[in-house]
Amino acid sequence: MQIQLRGHDREALDRVADMVLERFRNTPGLVELEDTRDIPGIEWRLTVDRAQAAKFGADVSLIGRYVQLVTKGMKITDYRPDDSDEEVDVVVRYPVALRTLAQLERIRMETDDGLMPIGNFVTMTAEPKVGKVRRVDARPAITVKADVAEGVLPNDKVRELRAWLSEADIPADLEVAFKGEDEEQQAAQAFLVKAFGVALFIMAIILVTQFNSFYSALLILSAVIMSTIGVMIGLMVTGKPFGIVMSGIGVIALAGIVVNNNIVLIDTFDTLKTTSASVREAILRTCAQRLRPVLLTTVTTILGLMPMVLQMNIDFVTRSVTVGAPSTQWWVSLSTAIVFGLTFATVLTLVVTPAALMFRETARQGWERMAGWISERRGRRHGGRAAPDYEVPHAAE
């Protein structure tokens, strides 16, 4: 979890960063707190008296090599082992116990006049450590970071912190933005919503073109949308959170299966309607003929995904079955969304879709009776004369 603060007022930026950091400390479930501000410190600067060093035949480069002995070490040569293609540096360093600031003052350099203490021509002074000014879009920025403890949903903490930020005393010219995992989640959510909308639009065009009926296309797409109710019920039953990426992909994949079942049912109805005595008979014959294909599609899909829902890893080579392996946890949300959504959508396909088809016929008959009644009343109003011819509008598909 990351909160980025941006503003030109450096004092206000530090003050708000302290507020956010303190809020992180008081929020249960957040661990490993840090921010991008520099840690206060000092740097030791070595000033070389070049004139004095020249009297002993020493220079700045020689002094630097001796200082390296105390710090990171001085490279004297390199070596390539027989079993490697890369060279290894050979570095000379003081023992760990002697790598101290006091040792810098006790270094003795080999000069033309023998061993001389480095303090004869080098002065050590402590100065404040130089910090870094981090900018985002040309504005100073501070990022406060925290990890989420195991078993805690980051999205819950984001909502809690958003509510706190809306009431906190933050200057108007200071910009606050959530970064890190929340930013990536928002981007993935926007992409999947657009992808789902485009998929529904393309399916609607194809369905209207093939069925030549807006009602049939709307009925099929409504089943897709209502199948998401089954996804939510499944996640509530299993106690799993709605993952933006995997659960969203599961909803999109579910749409293709639900569309197929409804297409099979409605296409058969359109075929049987021309040879049946009534629409009711055509619906009953359609349900009787297409019950098995729809159930087979549902059952085979659900049984195929059950190992993923139950986090079972089956190894046919070693003939072993493991439950809860790390490789299975990534796919639980996707498979759960498809299994429960498809189960719920099957009920919609076998019950709601036939009922909606019958509703269309009932509505058409009701419209025709109402139009006939209106025509009869108009005839009576003309004193028994024939009423003007009115075209009875048909029920819209």
Q: What CATH number does residue 66 fall under?
A: 3.30.2090.10
| Residue that is last in its domain, among 104, 128, 152 | 128
Q: What is the value of pTM for the model shown?
A: 0.58
User: Distance (Å, rounded) from C-alpha 380 to C-alpha 308?
Assistant: 70
Long-range contacts of 223-226 (CB under 8 A, 24+ apart): 223/258, 223/259, 223/262, 223/345, 223/348, 223/349, 223/352, 223/353, 224/200, 224/254, 224/255, 224/258, 224/259, 224/345, 226/344, 226/345, 226/348, 226/352
| Model confidence at 313: pLDDT above 50 | yes
| Model confidence at 326: pLDDT above 60 | yes
User: Distance (Å, rounded) from C-alpha 52 to C-alpha 203?
Assistant: 86
Q: Which residues share a beta bridge with 247?
A: none
Are 165 and 314 contained in the same domain?
no
Please state, for a pLDDT cut of 90, what percent of the chain lies above it. Answer: 0
Tokens at 134, concatenated? 């981090």
Are 157 and 252 contained in the same domain?
no
| Residue that is last in its domain, among 87, 110, 128 | 128
| Model confidence at 383: pLDDT above 70 | no
Would you tell me how many other CB atoms lie within 10 Å of the CB of residue 197? 10
Kindly report, residue by residue over 129-172, the tens digit of the pLDDT.
766 777 887 788 888 888 888 777 777 788 888 888 888 888 88
Kindly report, residue by residue over 99-128, the tens digit of the pLDDT.
887 887 778 887 777 788 887 888 888 887
Are 207 and 75 contained in the same domain?
no
The per-residue pLDDT for 382 is 58
User: Distance (Å, rounded) from C-alpha 101 to C-alpha 123?
Assistant: 13
Q: Establish if 194 belongs to a structural domain.
A: yes
User: Distance (Å, rounded) from C-alpha 101 to C-alpha 94?
Assistant: 12
The per-residue pLDDT for 114 is 79
Q: How confident is the model at residue 79 (pLDDT cuts 50, 70, 90)?
A: confident
The per-residue pLDDT for 396 is 43
The per-residue pLDDT for 397 is 41
Are 324 and 344 contained in the same domain?
yes
Choose among 262, 256, 243: nearest CA to 192.
243
Would you tell me how many other CB atoms lie within 10 Å of the CB of residue 356? 17
| Model confidence at 385: pLDDT above 60 | no
Are 99 and 190 contained in the same domain?
no
The per-residue pLDDT for 327 is 67
Mean pLDDT of the residues in the chain? 80
Helix runs in the chain, H state only: 10-25, 50-55, 60-70, 101-106, 154-167, 181-211, 214-238, 246-272, 279-309, 326-329, 332-347, 353-381
Helix, strand or coil for residue 79? strand
- CA angle 240/243/246 to nearest 5° reads 110
Q: Hey, what amino acid is at 243?
A: G
**Is the alpha carbon torsion for 378, 379, 385, 386 positive or negative?**
positive
Are 213 and 318 contained in the same domain?
yes
Kindly report, residue by residue over 162-216, the tens digit of the pLDDT.
888 888 888 888 888 888 777 777 787 788 888 888 888 888 888 888 888 888 8
Q: Which residue has the higher pLDDT, 377 or 250?
A: 250
Q: Establish if 391 belongs to a structural domain.
A: no
Q: Look at the chain and count its residues.
A: 397
Q: Establish if 395 belongs to a structural domain.
A: no
Give the residue numbers spanning the domain of 28.
Answer: 2-38+132-179
Are 147 and 270 contained in the same domain?
no
Are 70 and 168 contained in the same domain?
no
| Residue that is last in its domain, among 179, 205, 240 | 179
Are 150 and 105 contained in the same domain?
no
Are 363 and 243 contained in the same domain?
yes
| Model confidence at 9: pLDDT above 50 | yes
Q: How confident is the model at residue 98 (pLDDT cuts 50, 70, 90)?
A: confident
| Helix (H), strand (E) at residue 30 | strand 30-35
Average pLDDT over residues 209-224: 84
Are 116 and 140 contained in the same domain?
no
Are 209 and 244 contained in the same domain?
yes
- Residue 130 burial (CB < 10 Å; 0-12/13-18/19+)? exposed
Would you tell me how many other CB atoms lie within 10 Å of the CB of residue 354? 20
Contact 237, 343 (CB under 8 A): no
Choose among 11, 27, 324: nearest CA to 3.
27
CATH number at residue 172: 3.30.70.1320
| Model confidence at 53: pLDDT above 60 | yes
Total tally of structural domains belonging to the chain: 3
Q: Which residue has the higher pLDDT, 387 or 376?
A: 376
Q: Establish if 393 belongs to a structural domain.
A: no
User: Distance (Å, rounded) from C-alpha 185 to C-alpha 159?
Assistant: 13
Tokens at 121, concatenated? 């021509």
Q: Establish if 394 belongs to a structural domain.
A: no
Q: How confident is the model at residue 45 (pLDDT cuts 50, 70, 90)?
A: confident
Q: Establish if 387 belongs to a structural domain.
A: no
